[in-house]
Homo-oligomer: A and B are copies of this chain.
Amino acid sequence: MAHGRRSRIESLSNPLVKRMRLLREKRHRRAEGLFLAEGLRIATEAREAGVLPAWLFLGEEGAAHPLARALIDATLAAGGEVIDTTPAILSKLSGKDNPQTVVGIYAEPSATLADLDRNAAPIWLVAERLRDPGNLGTMLRTADAIGAGGLILLDESTDPYGVEAVRASMGAIFTQALVQARWDDFLPWLRSGPGQLVATWLADDTLDYQAVRYEAPTFILIGNESQGMPESYAAAADVRVKMPMMGKADSLNAAVAAAVMAYEVLNQRRR
C-alpha cells in the first residue's frame, strides 16, 4: 500500500491552497475531478464508507480531536497527504469566516447507469432538473436513511459535488450511489431490467400515494422544484401518485416530497 506524507502549510499563497480553493467553482471541480468536503463528521462518515481524501487539511483543533487519529492514519495509509494548516487557510479553502477545522479533498466518483446494480437496494431516488443544492444533499441524506441504493440525477441538475450539496448530505454523498444521466438514456436503462417507475404528479386522475402497492426496485421520480417534471416523463412512469394536499399549496418542497414518498414505500416493505 502506498504511504502518503504529512506536511505543514502556513502561507496563503501556497500553490496547493490556491488550487484547492478553486474547487468551490464547478468548472474547476470538473477539470480537476476533485471536490471539497468540510467537517470531521463528514470525513469520518466517508472513512467508514471506505472513502479517503487525496488531501486532508487540518486545523489545530481538528488534528487534536479524538476522531482525527483514525482519519489521519487511514488517509496516510491510502497514499493521501495530511496537511496541518492555519485557520486563515481553512477559511480560504471553505470560503467561510468560521471554517470547520477539517477539510478533505476527494476524487469525484463518475459512476454511470451501467455501473448501478439496481437489485442491490429496494428503493432508488430519481430527481429531474433539481436546482437547489440543499435539496440535493437532503435527498441523499434521506436516501441513506431509508436504505436506498442511491440518487439518479436527470438532465441539467445542480452539481452534487458543490459545497452546499455535500454539506446537506451529511456524509451520504459518500455512502449513496450517485449517477447523472439524461432521461433519454435513463428510460431505456430502466426498461432493460426490473423496476417500477413512480412519478409524483398532481392531477385529477393521479392515484393517492397510499393506494398503490410498490414493487422493488421502486424508482421514485421527483420533478423540478418550480415546474415539476415534463408530462411525457410522468406518462412514461408505471404509476403516477400524489400526496394529499389539504391547504392552499399545490406542492411540497422537492426533498420533502421525496422523503414522504420514500417512507411510504419503506413502510409498505416493513409490513
Contacts and interface: CB of A to CB of B under 8 A. Distances in A.
Contact of A248 (B49, B248, B256): B49
Interface residues of A, number: 37
The oligomer's copy count stands at: 2
A216 B45 CA distance: 39
B247 A147 contact: yes
Given A247-B147, A249-B170, A266-B244, A142 B256 contact: yes
B210 A249 contact: no
A146 B247 contact: yes
B266 A145 contact: no
Contacts of A255: 138, 253, 255-256
A29 B19 CA distance: 41
Given A252-B259, A253-B255, A255-B253, A175 B244 contact: no
Interface string A40-67: 0000010011000000000000000000
19 contacts: A138-B255, A141-B253, A145-B245, A146-B246, A147-B247, A168-B253, A170-B249, A172-B247, A172-B249, A175-B247, A175-B248, A210-B267, A243-B263, A244-B270, A252-B259, A253-B259, A255-B255, A259-B259, A260-B263
